[in-house]
A and B are shown apart, each in its own frame.
Chain A
Amino acid sequence: MNIRTRTRMRTRTRTRTRMRTRTRTRTRTRQAVAAVAGAGALLVVTGCGAADMTKQASPYANAHGAKTVTLSVQSWVGAQANVAVAQYLLEHELGYRVDTVQVDEVPAWDALSQGRVDAIMEDWGHPDQEARYVKDKKTIVNGGDLGVTGHIGWFVPTYFVKQHPDVTDWKNLNKYADQLKTAESGGKGQLLDGSPSYVTNDKALVQNLKLNYQVVFSGSEAAQITQIKQFAKQKKPFLTYWYQPQWLFKKVPMTEVKLPAYKEGCDADPKKVACAYPKTPLQKYLNADFAKDGGKAAAFLKNFQWTTEDQNEVSLLIADQKLSPDEAAKKWIDEHRSTWEAWVPQ
């Protein structure tokens, strides 16, 4: 033991005199060792009991010692409008700090059940997730109607409808397939579809209605909107999957194509769907614990309810006037005091 220590010391002094840089390396190694030890200690300290991942908040939360609410923002602007207004009111009227996280719809449900986010402000109907988290696991509760009704459908630009009024019936769509061709649709008409996170039966619909169309997935809403705008600038005809409420209607007027009417249960088998999409009253969902212990913030989010027009007004300010969501929300809030005062709990 003694001898070994001595040799080590000798080599150490020898190297020190020989090469200065080595000392530097050694200090660095020592620092690294200390750091690893520190991390290890941290693990030991936290590592005694069970660590429930569902009880973990974002590391950025509560940075200034404030009460924090985390809201999930979906990728479309309508959802941004909900969140922007809720955020502004929570921050300025109720004194909360609000964090927002942008995630896709299904992962957002997952995050909501784990408590990573406290609320989803606008949900378009996810029966599988609802059954799993609301009914079975009871980690999520319904937060009531948003007040907006959502509807998915197929749309053509209104300028095209003016020239060819019969295009709005699905039975006539095949007549126009030629005019709706693009390089991507390979000889058939193009049906432009959106982000992969959206609910869609379009492939089955095209097949079951025997339409001479090719579904082209644009992969993201941003890509789809950009493409629609480019088509509209040149007054070119197009057929697209789209949804209401959506701010783009104000920029590019579009008319819905009538598909076979929706009946309860006609979309039960995704392979055999041959009917239109339903009208969905959009829902809010809250994390169960947050709904119980969230105090004024939870009460406020449950009360939050506005109309399609309100939402569109804010969306348009964000997407068209390019106001920041915060400024857009402020503008709406200044003008609609009576609407939102009912939401704020006393």
Chain B
Amino acid sequence: MTAAVTTAPLDKRGAGPLAGLRRHRGLGKLLLLAVAAAVIIPLVDAKWSSGTWPHALTVDLTEPLGKASDWIIDNRDSHPLFLYFFGHISNAIVVSVRAVYLVLLAAGWAGVTAAAGLIAWRVAGWRLAASAAIAFLICGSLGMWVPTVQTLALMVVAVFASVVIGALFGLAAGLSDRMHRALRPVLDTMQVFPAYAYLLPVVLVFGIGVPAAVLATVVYAAPPMARLTALGLRSADGGVMEAVASLGATARQRLVTARLPLARQEILLGLNQTIMMALSMAVIASVIGAGGLGDRVYQALASVDVGAALAAGIPIVLLAVVLDRVTSAAGAGLGDDKPAAPWKWGVVAAGTVVVALAARFADRLDWPDAWIVNIADPVNDAVDWMTDHLYTGVPYIGGTADWAAHFTTWVLDPVRSGLTWLPWWSVLLIVAALAWLIGTWRTALTAVLAMAAIGVLGVWKPSLDTLSQVLAAVAVTLVIGFAIGIAAARSERLERILRPVLDVFQTMPQFVYLIPVVALFGVGRAPAVAAAVVYALPAVIRITTQGLRQVDPAAMEASRSMGATSGQQLRQVQLPLARPALLLAVNQGVVLVLAVVIIGGLVGGGALGYDVVFGLAQGDLATGLVAGAAIVCLGLMLDRVTQPTERRARDGKGA
């Protein structure tokens, strides 16, 4: 207690000069930037004086991209590259997905459910086993058994490939500094890559269907595995490594017996992340013919049937939650040194086989039709009621349609016209200043180059339109997210209630809430912002809550003993100490909001999101790919502008 009291003022004294220094350094950076700007801008402005990006500085990619696309289509059936390389990849994927699919079908619903339950029991205990089994039974009773199995088959293959590829890259980056330096920017970029942008090139080469879907999923899901494997290998305890080396172990032995086991927590976390990302991509990939649950959601969208979309969306949520819990429980369980029990795996295998055979002899392989519960009608009624009553004319506060209109005219329009009014060089300057203040000159340079690349690609205006939507959505997300996060950090009960809600919103395919969002906010940019907020909110709330919770209890105790009210405690102790977590929340909020910009294109958001959707729908590589690249550049820029230095520094230390 006394120790706590003395440390708090000490901290404060320590922070004083440091903060001053930082401010000064920031001022210095700004001065330097101002000098550079004063020299360069008159030159640039004299040469290309225009509000938007000067036309002379753009590169038109329409023709080369159009030619590339034509070449691929013309040579796809005959060129050796396709016959001997892509063809075999495609074949291997089809064969393996088919193999898994047939095995799952042969096991029947009873066998698969039993296997899921038993595996969950083996790695995570009884409670999760029960929820896993129940989750599969619900999938069946929603009438989604076959789509669930198709999605599972695709997922198994995609996750396996992602893990193998991710682990190989992770190993390389974990063991070699040069590889690490080379891979890190690539992985950083992949993290902000919107999933949709992969689809177009993959479809062009592989055609629609499962191979393209699996490949797009692998590209999307492998980076976290690589990243976390490398992180785990690099953060191995130096003392242990020294000890192992002094015992005379060879490099390979050191890797297998010390480094890999020490890194297994991170590797399992990587597996967890990979599975979650693969699942979300499996839904998006339905646009290119992946089949399965995502396809059902997508088809329901066409007949504007929220209920049917939800019936296919719930199995996805359940799969995601179960897989997440089981893999993270497996990761947590690795730490304690329980004796391995091979007989348990025997039980798993035997139980599965017995149940599968029993189902086969009982002739119950397919899910019985009589057991299907129809949830579509009640859900549709509920949604209709909601949209009827909230859309307009609610006394005093007005309807959602009015809010949307006001939000568009009072927030979105001014931000957009403000951004487009700014001369192009001043946008670059602002980006540079923000990125440099919060990061290093490297991050600033990356951000400026990314922004300039957008101009060069010739999509300056739509990009600023998208940027205005992203900024508005991030602002809304942060206001709501911080408010709920603070509330949840102060009440255990609220956090417990929130947890499943957040899980659902985080994993629910965005296609499901597309229609309600339009029904409430009309077509345009407002529903696009709403969809983005719904998607990004859970992560922001989670990070905020966690950050506030992890504030040193000693500091809290100290402030309380000094008579601070709970409001003062929050403002003066918790929030400042949780600053890194809050900054991370901002960063994640930005990245996630940007990830659904394309979904926004489906509800009238226009700009880059619409262009990507257009490119995909019309097979127009030039429009789609350029817009996709611009989204990536925007993502890079926003990531760098919001990426706190602390994170980079920690990364560097780990390296």
Chain A residues with CB under 8 Å of chain B are 8, 11, 15, 19-26, 29, 32, 35-36, 39, 42-43, 46-47, 50-54, 56-60, 63, 73, 75-77, 80, 99, 101-108, 110-111, 114, 116, 132, 137, 182-184, 186, 192, 195-197, 216-227, 229-230, 233-234, 318-319, 322, 324
Q: Is the CB of A103 within 8 A of B88?
A: no
Contact, CB under 8 Å: B337 / A56: no
On whether A216 and B253 interact (CB within 8 A), knowing A51-B90, A197-B618, the answer reads no
CB-CB nearest in chain A for B619: A106
Instruction: Report A-chain residues with C-beta under 8 Å of the C-beta of B515.
Output: 222-223, 226
A319 and B610 contacting across the interface, CB-CB below 8 Å: no
What is the minimal beta-carbon distance from A167 to any residue of chain B, in angstroms?
21
Q: Are A63 and B101 in contact (CB under 8 A)?
A: yes
B523→A51 contact, CB < 8 A? no
| Known contacts A80-B302, A196-B614, A39 near B91 by CB under 8 Å | no
- Size category of the B interface is 35 or more
CB distance from B301 to the nearest CB of A (A): 5
Which of B302, B387, B604 is within 8 Å of A230, CB to CB? B387
A130 to B73, CA, bound (A): 14
Add 10 more A-B contacts to A110-B73, A182-B522, A227-B518 (CB < 8 A). A22-B257, A56-B211, A76-B302, A103-B288, A114-B207, A183-B524, A219-B613, A222-B302, A223-B527, A233-B388
Q: Is B291 an interface residue (CB 8 A)?
A: yes
CB <8 Å contact, B604 and A104 = no
Minimum distance in angstroms from A90 CB to a CB of chain B = 18
Task: Tell me the complex Cα distance, A106–B409, Å.
Answer: 36
Known: A53-B76, A196-B610, A226-B515. A218 touches B604 (CB 8 A): yes
Nearest 7 interchain pairs by C-beta: A51-B87, A197-B617, A184-B524, A59-B98, A196-B614, A50-B83, A183-B408
Task: Look across to chain B and name the residue whose beta carbon is closest to the beta carbon of A107.
Answer: B208
Measured CA separation A151–B405 after assembly (Å):
32
| Segment 502-555 of B: residues with Cβ below 8 Å from A | 514-515, 518-519, 522-527
Q: What is the distance, in angstroms, from A67's C-beta to the closest C-beta of chain B?
A: 17
CA distance A20 to B207 in the complex (A): 48
Judge whether A230 and B617 touch: CB under 8 Å: no
What A residues does B223 contact at CB under 8 A?
none
Known interface pairs A54-B77, A110-B619, A219-B613; A101-B84 also in contact (CB < 8 Å)? no
A53 touching B82 by the CB < 8 A rule?
yes
Q: Which residues of B sit under 8 angstroms from A73, Cβ to Cβ?
A: 299, 302
Which chain B positions have C-beta within 8 A of A29? 256, 260
* Contact yes or no, B289 A132, CB < 8 A: no
CA distance A87 to B51 in the complex (A): 56
Instruction: Identify whether the interface residues of B are mostly helix, strand, loop, or mixed.
Output: helix
Identify B209's interface contact among A116, A137, A224, CB under 8 A: A116
Known: A52-B83, A234-B392. A111 touches B208 (CB 8 A): yes
- Describe A's contact surface by its main secondary structure: helix
Query: Residues of B at under 8 Å CB distance from A?
Result: 73, 76-77, 80, 82-84, 86-88, 90-98, 101-102, 105, 150, 153, 160, 164, 203, 206-211, 249, 253, 256-257, 260-261, 264, 286-289, 291, 295, 298-299, 301-305, 307-308, 334, 337, 339-340, 376-377, 380, 387-388, 391-392, 401, 404-406, 408-409, 413, 514-515, 518-519, 522-527, 600-606, 609-610, 613-614, 616-619
CB-nearest residue of chain A to B335 = A21
Q: Does the CB pair B303–A11 fall under 8 Å?
A: no
Q: Inside 8 A of B409's CB, which chain A residues have their CB?
A: 183
**Which residues of chain A come closer than 8 Å to B610, judged between CB atoms?**
196, 217, 219
Known A-B contacts A20-B337, A22-B257, A196-B614; A63 and B519 likewise in contact (beta carbons under 8 Å): no
CB distance from A321 to the nearest CB of B (A): 10
Nearest-CB distance from A120 to chain B (Å)? 12
CB contact between B376 and one of A24, A60, A99, A322 (< 8 Å): that residue: A322
* CB atoms of A226 and B87 under 8 A apart: no
List A contacts of B102 (CB < 8 A).
63
- Across the interface, name the chain A residue whose C-beta is closest to B292: A60
Which one, B96, B260, B404, B522, contacts A42 given CB within 8 A? B96
